[in-house]
Amino acid sequence: MIRTNASFPKKFLWGASTAAHQVEGGNHNQWSVWELENARALAMKAEYHISDLNKWDHIKDIARQPDNYVSGKAVDHYNRYKEDFDLLKKLHMNAFRFSVEWSRIEPEEGVWSAEAIEHYRQYIMELKKRDIEPVMTLFHFTLPVWFSDMGGFEKRRNVKYFERFAEKVAHELGPGVRYIVTINEPNVYLEQSYLEGSWPPAKQNKIVAWRVLENLAYAHKLAAAAIRDVSSDHLVSIAHSTTYTYAGDDSWLSSISASIMQYLSDDYFLKKIIKHCDYLGVNYYFSARVYGYRVHNPDEKQSDLGWDASPMNLQFALERLYDKYDKPILITENGIADMDDELRKWWISQSIVAMKLAMQRGVDLIGYLHWSLVDNFEWAYGKWPRFGLAAVNYKTMERRLRPSAKWFGAVIAKLRQ
């Protein structure tokens, strides 16, 4: 049990995170189009792609079904958000990260949906009513079809549409929202969509990938300026996915390789945008232990997705990023795919210790947002991975807090006393 004389300040944000497309249901965007086109192929390839996962025997029936790869109603958060916000209260949380769905707000170029804007206005009001600090993301991997059809972030000239969207959202929904995340995980978007080609637009092209990265940096810069023009009360960042990368032995090759990998995955992009950030949003899920020029992680503990589970390395990731960039850090995501709830309690308790140690070493930490509040549509893996503090029954949409979540809620209550 965590000792409750911990050094977490009173104003520390304890919360959970989600993203529109992964929970809302009923979206029409470049992802939903791609899902329908690719669901059958993903189901057919599951055996080949993921049959080495520990839980394969439990998931194979679902993973072979095309339906798994279609977000569809997701967990119907669009209609059930009040119920979900009540879960935050049950967990004694005081913060919540969500994304507004661009394709709902601007379904056609230059056409704004009053209905969608009103929906999100109510949504934010319901959070405020519950004394929950909203953390609002603008781009979390999904794009309106019209924007993606014109080339999305591949074209420099398209960035102005994102800037206009950011300005509109800041005007309409900004009042009362302090923390804004412009772009979620630019590095992950780039890797999956333009290098590995496993997400839409499913390209494998290093030159286009490099161009997208440059344009995302530019997009953040313009969006941050537009948001601050609307009100200087907003604090703006991206949510950066960091992989803590370290040498597994003391050879020079391991150490140089680890540094290069860390630079490419973190610093190349962060250096471009950090002066346009008021804080740094950090998502942490795994580390990379490097031997020579290869990653070979310890395999004692893994998530259901086969990801290395080293929650304690969060401490070193935070210290590195804080030392280098000198910005207050908000952990915008951290969690584990764990359908049987075997590791989540351990993961969270280790993460709390890691945060505490990092803070004792001087890291200015704003808060911790667990991924995810409820089970979510996990992109190309579909619905089988279970990240939620609350388990969702996809047939009945019933939410049930997992035992680890109940434990976490009790810990938060003590830490906030």
Distance (Å) of CA 247 to CA 160, 252, 254, 300, 410:
41, 9, 5, 18, 37
The smaller minimum CB distance to ligand IFM, of residues 185 and 338, is found at 185
Nearer residue to ligand IFM within complex by CB, 32 or 376:
376
Residues at the site binding ligand IFM, with contacts judged by CB under 6 A: 19, 22, 185, 283, 333, 371, 376, 378
Q: Which H helix or E strand runs over 333?
A: strand 329-334
Per-residue buried b or exposed e for 201-228, using 16+ beta carbons within 10 Å of the residue's own CB: eebeeeebbebbbebbbbbbbbbbebbb
| For ligand IFM, the closer CB: 8 or 189 | 189
Collapsing DSSP states into helix, strand and coil, what is residue 288? strand
Q: Which candidate, 170, 169, 81, places its Cα nearest to that of 127?
A: 81
Least spacing, CB of residue 197 vs ligand IFM, in Å? 18
Count the neighbouring beta carbons within 10 Å of the beta carbon of residue 7. Answer: 12
| Rounded Cα–Cα distance for residues 101 and 71 (Å) | 14
Smallest distance, ligand IFM to C-beta of residue 113, A: 23
**CA-based Rg of the chain, rounded to a whole angstrom?**
20
Instruction: From 349, 394, 351, select the one nearest 374 (Cα to Cα).
Output: 394
Distances (CA, A) of 340 to 50, 230, 270: 18, 45, 36
Q: Which is nearer to ligand IFM, 109 or 342 (CB)?
A: 342
In the complex, minimum distance from the CB of residue 98 to ligand IFM, in angstroms, rounded to a whole number = 12
| In the complex, least distance from residue 1 CB atom to ligand IFM, rounded to whole angstroms | 27
Phi then psi dihedrals of residue 333, to 5 deg: -155, 145
Given the complex with ligand IFM, which of 27 and 254 has the nearer CB atom?
A: 27
327 vs 263: CA distance, rounded Å: 18
Q: How far is the CB of 378 from ligand IFM (least distance, A)?
A: 5
Nearer to ligand IFM, 8 or 141 (CB): 141
For ligand IFM, the closer CB: 104 or 370 = 370
Residue 45 CB, nearest distance to ligand IFM (Å)? 19
Q: How far is the CB of 22 from ligand IFM (least distance, A)?
A: 6
Closest alpha carbon to 251 in 215, 293, 218: 293
